Structure 1
Amino acid sequence: MSSKRPNPSKRFAHEEPDTLVYQIDDRLYVNLTDRCTLACTFCPKHNGCTEVKGHELYLSERPAADTIIELIGDPTRYTEIVFCGFGEPTLRLKDLLTVAKAVKAQGGNTRINTDGLANRVHKRDVTGEMAECIDALSISLNAQDETTYNKHCEPSLKGSHTEVLKFIEAAAKVIPDVSATAIDGLEGVDVAQCAALAEERGAKFRARYLDVVG
């Protein structure tokens, strides 16, 4: 995993409690972990910022699943519960699935925003487990080829770009709503080629824009 971490001094100076869930528009986001599989050059936290739309996301500790479930409360108050925060949520897959199953049991909708490396990290195909309680996936493809991907994403695992493509294809077979994304305007990224790669694997494609969340 990447050893890069932002300076938490600002947060500790204010002694603010961890933001474990946060609302943007009509969605509730779950901040499950501070760990990442990538060290993306365009990610705010690798550029000295730990806030998203006014929400301080630095974690002093990783929250228990029961704590997150309690904080969510009635999930039907939101369009969806989105697993996306300071780090890569699938690194805490067991807890993620526990929370997602609780949300589904109460009639809520679930989505994971992910780097698409869960199968590589957990050394098995986890898309079937996700399909039991996840309605949608947004997968960061980020680039059309490995060279461009490595330049911008700085993966800690070799062959990550290929693994993301495999994950997109596997997920699209079992999860109703799967989209791959890439950032329009990022140097060297061909959004049209990224869209084609996603569509060839049965997924939709959505262009993203720097610093736009939601």
Structure 2
Amino acid sequence: MASKAMAKAMTITYKLGTALYINITNRCTNRCVFCVRTTAAGVADGLNLWLEREPTVTEVLRDIQQWDTAGLSEFVFCGYGEPLARADATIDICRELKKSYAVPIRVNTNGQANLLYEQDITPLLAGLVDAVSISMNAKNAQEYQAICLSEFGEKAYASMLEFAGKCKQYIPVVVLTVVDIMPPADIRACREIARQVGVDFRVRKLVD
């Protein structure tokens, strides 16, 4: 189990199925209307992922070490925030995980990191991140902004798609995702956009 000392203060890591999830920040450039952190008491069995503070890289790695990783299918950076809001920490953690575990690493992201840092960070993920899941959520910029409320406004949508395209050069698996509450016609439109970008596409449940 996760360390008792850290669990009393905050949940840094948690397990869903055969994946170990890593929760490193509550910061996010979006305020999605359907986000689980505003629509539910918690994930899984009500697990609260609000952090009292952002854990250090050392704390994250120590927390991971408390788990039995035998049979683990992947590490997933996903919690109550945007992991790439802490890109340096994400990269440092990935680098250490690659040294110690033969387990794939996935990052769930809103794809706005290049806007946030005003530079292309995708080359920094090469050899460290095995898969990236990018929340697409809409078929155009106007609808995206209406439901995701990005601090970058409507330009966030084009930047997100561009981020997905750049990730293809460095990350083996790149997936654009939408939630299953979208109308079928919108889902088809998003699937076509993903095809044009040249990445995979997945429809996810409203609460994963």
TM-score (norm 2): 0.89
Cα distance, 1:77 vs structure 2: 4.4
Q: Would the alpha carbon gap of residues 16 and 66 (structure 1) be closer, same or farther in structure 2, given more than 3 Å must change?
A: closer
**Percent of paired sites with the same residue:** 31
- Say yes or no: does 1:52 pair with 2:46: no
When the two structures are aligned, how many residues end up with a matched partner?
197
Query: Which sections of structure 2, spanning at least 5 residues, go unmatched?
Result: 1-6
Q: How big is each residue's C-alpha offset from its partner over 1:106-128, in whole Å with a ceiling of 9 and x where there is no partner?
A: 22210000000011111111111
Letter aligned with residue 42 of structure 1: F
Q: How big is each residue's C-alpha offset from its partner over 1:57-106, in whole Å with a ceiling of 9 and x where there is no partner?
A: 01111000111111112756411100000100000010111111111112
Q: Secondary structure of 1:108's match? A: coil
Distance 2:140 2:182 in 1: 14
Is the Cα contact below 8 Å between 2:106 and 2:132 reproduced in 1?
A: yes
Q: How big is each residue's C-alpha offset from its partner over 1:134-164, in whole Å with a ceiling of 9 and x where there is no partner?
A: 0000000111101110111011113100110
Partner of 1:28: 20
Is the Cα contact below 8 Å between 1:115 and 1:141 reproduced in 2?
A: yes
Letter aligned with residue 156 of structure 2: S
Distance 2:88 2:71 in 1: 25
User: Among residues 57, 63, 82, which one is paired with 2:76 in the alignment?
Assistant: 82
Cα distance, 1:132 vs structure 2: 2.7
Is the Cα contact below 8 Å between 1:146 and 1:162 reproduced in 2?
A: yes
Letter aligned with residue 54 of structure 2: R
Partner of 1:8: none
User: Among residues 142, 147, 150, which one is paired with 2:142 in the alignment?
Assistant: 147
Partner of 2:4: none
Is the Cα contact below 8 Å between 1:75 and 1:81 reproduced in 2?
A: no
Letter aligned with residue 52 of structure 2: S
Is the Cα contact below 8 Å between 1:18 and 1:57 reproduced in 2?
A: yes
User: Among residues 50, 61, 69, which one is paired with 2:53 in the alignment?
Assistant: 61
Partner of 1:123: 118
Query: Which sections of structure 1, spanning at least 5 residues, go unmatched?
Result: 1-14
Q: Secondary structure of 1:98's match? A: helix
Q: How does 1:1-214 map to 2 (within 5 A)?
A: 16-47=8-39, 49-54=40-45, 55-73=47-65, 77-106=71-100, 107-158=102-153, 159-186=155-182, 190-211=186-207, 213=208
